A and B are shown apart, each in its own frame.
Chain A
């Protein structure tokens, strides 16, 4: 098979027999395969190896598949296919709540898994190519320049380092200049699946963000508080 670069697939399942079968099929199709038997190891490998696609068993022994999914997605933009024997959970998993790219019910046919992986990768690449074109422009708000694709924020031409969460908050607010978000709405936008981000945590992120982008964080010009409601971003003119 003539591939310039091997696509890397990370498979996470606690059943060694499943890992062996899927690895064999995928390697025969020219994929490079990374395997993990538990969630903690999976997250570590995902970060270190930056796979092109993740196949994740929903029910893992220590760290649940859902938790692994959230952590991996918080770190990187990678398509995820869920393996699940809980057919009644499928809607939740693939629907809005989690946003997996596809699911495969157990028991499954390994041939079908390979076919689905190829389809998801193709769809993902296609969408990414479209996004790249749409995201080329850099949004400017006052002295701020937000490059969404490059995850790069500059103020007066000087780069500032934001955490992923801070970047997401800034991105949501900047895309909706003048629109007031309640804390709940903002949390829903930046961490739709998370139950462990609280209002207080959000306030702290906002405070940190202001500290980085405002010249005087006690007199914010970009991210202003709408008392009793929430936050909004304004153009300082």
Chain B
């Protein structure tokens, strides 16, 4: 679970660092960069789902772990 949280923070870092750079006028929001931000946020969504599943398993000790 720690590693999921870690991955979430990493992907958020990619998104927020880029967006801050766009807002500060340091980088142009090119298509490639916007795609990278988009992909990072899509990853966050996937990772959050994993996290929720892990938490559910912790709550209910009688379910088989999914991994």
Contacts and interface: CB of A to CB of B under 8 A. Distances in A.
A176 interface: no
Contact of B36 (A17, A25, A85, A105): A17
B35 to A, nearest CB: 10
B6 A107 contact: no
A86 B26 CA distance: 28
B8 to A, nearest CB: 8
B20 A109 contact: yes
Contacts, number: 62
Interface string B27-48: 1000001001000100000000
A22 B16 CA distance: 12
Nearest to A24: B26
Interface string A73-96: 000000000000110100000000
Contacts of B12: 106-107
A104 to B, nearest CB: 10
A86 B6 contact: yes
Nearest to B40: A17
A107 B14 CA distance: 8
B21 A21 contact: yes
B49 interface: no
Contact of B14 (A15, A24, A109): A15
Contacts of B21: 21, 24-25, 110
A198 interface: no
Nearest to A109: B20
Task: Name which of A22, A85, A111 has the most chain B CB atoms within 10 A of its CB.
Answer: A85
Nearest to A20: B27
- Looking at chain B's contact residues, is the secondary structure mostly helix, strand, loop, or mixed? helix
Given A15-B14, A86-B2, A107-B17, A21 B26 contact: yes
B9 A106 contact: yes
Nearest to B33: A17
B31 to A, nearest CB: 14
A contact residues, range: 20 to 34
Contact of A85 (B13, B16, B18, B40): B13
A22 B27 CA distance: 11
Contacts of A106: 9-10, 12-13
Contacts of B24: 25, 110-111
Interface of A: 15, 17-18, 20-22, 24-25, 28, 59, 85-86, 88, 105-111
30 contacts: A15-B13, A15-B14, A17-B14, A17-B36, A18-B14, A20-B27, A21-B18, A21-B27, A22-B17, A24-B27, A25-B24, A25-B26, A59-B6, A85-B5, A85-B6, A85-B13, A88-B2, A106-B9, A106-B10, A106-B12, A107-B9, A107-B12, A107-B16, A108-B13, A108-B17, A109-B16, A109-B20, A110-B20, A110-B24, A111-B20
